[in-house]
Amino acid sequence: MPLSQPLLHAAVFAFTVLQALASDTFIAAVYEHAVILPTAVIKPVSPDDALALMNSNMDVLEGAIKEAAQQGAHIIVTPEDGIYGWRFTRETIYPYLEDIPDPAVNWIPCTDPTRFAPAPVQERLSCMARNNSIYVVANIGDKKPCNSSDPSCPEDGRYQYNTDVVFDPEGKLVARYHKYNLFRGETQFNYPKEPETITFETPFGKFGIFTCFDILFREPAVVLICTLLKCKSTDPETCGQPVETAQTKFEMFSLSGTFGTSYVFPEVLYSGVQLAPGEFEVLRDGRLKSKHGTSKPVITVTLFGRLYEKDLPHPLRMSPSHNTAVTQSP
Predicted pLDDT of residue 1 = 32
Other beta carbons less than 10 A from residue 281's beta carbon: 11
Tell me how far CA of residue 100 lies from CA of 93, 112, 146, 161, in angstroms.
Answer: 15, 14, 15, 10
Nearest to 176 by CA among 228, 221, 122: 122
pLDDT by residue, tens only, the chain of 330 residues: 333 333 333 334 555 555 544 456 789 998 988 999 998 668 999 999 999 999 999 999 999 999 999 999 999 999 999 999 998 999 999 999 999 999 999 999 999 999 998 999 999 999 999 999 999 999 999 999 999 899 999 999 999 999 999 999 999 999 999 999 898 879 999 999 998 989 999 998 888 898 988 876 778 766 667 455 677 787 777 766 778 888 888 788 788 777 777 778 788 888 888 888 888 887 777 778 888 888 888 887 777 777 777 766 654 433 434 333 333 333
Nearest to 83 by CA among 15, 8, 140: 140
Asked if the peptide bond before residue 47 counts as cis, ω within 30 degrees of 0, the response is: no
Query: Per the residue annotation, which of 80, 98, 186, 196 is the catalytic one?
Result: 80
80 counts as catalytic: yes
Query: Per the residue annotation, which of 32, 62, 98, 212 is the catalytic one?
Result: 212
Contacts of 38 (CB under 8 A, 6+ apart): 45, 50, 53, 84, 85, 87
Q: Report yes or no: 141 and 177 within 8 Å, Cβ to Cβ.
A: no
Asked if the peptide bond before residue 220 counts as cis, ω within 30 degrees of 0, the response is: yes
Predicted pLDDT of residue 2 = 33
- Concatenate the DSSP letters of all residues of 187-229 into one string: TTSPPPSS----EEEETTEEEEEEEGGGGGSIIIIITTT-S--
- Domains of the chain (ranges, CATH numbers): 13-222 (3.60.110.10), 236-329 (no CATH)
Backbone angles phi, psi at 238, to 5 degrees: -85, -10
Angle at 281 between CA 279 and CA 285, to 5 degrees: 160
Nearest to 16 by CA among 256, 236, 197: 197
Specify the DSSP class assigned to residue 59: H
First to last CA, the chain: 25
Helix or strand or coil: residue 159? strand
Specify the DSSP class assigned to residue 99: -
Predicted pLDDT of residue 224 = 67
Dihedral angle, C-alpha 204, 208, 212, 213, nearest 10 °: -160
212 counts as catalytic: yes
Helix or strand or coil: residue 75? strand
Predicted pLDDT of residue 121 = 98
Predicted pLDDT of residue 159 = 97
Nearest to 77 by CA among 14, 22, 121: 14
Query: Per the residue annotation, which of 179, 186, 196, 226 is the catalytic one?
Result: 179
Q: Report yes or no: 173 and 122 within 8 Å, Cβ to Cβ.
A: yes
Specify the DSSP class assigned to residue 44: P
Read off the pTM.
Answer: 0.68
Question: Which strand ranges, in their side-by-side order, compose the sheet holding 28-30?
Answer: 28-30, 75-77, 135-145, 158-167, 173-178
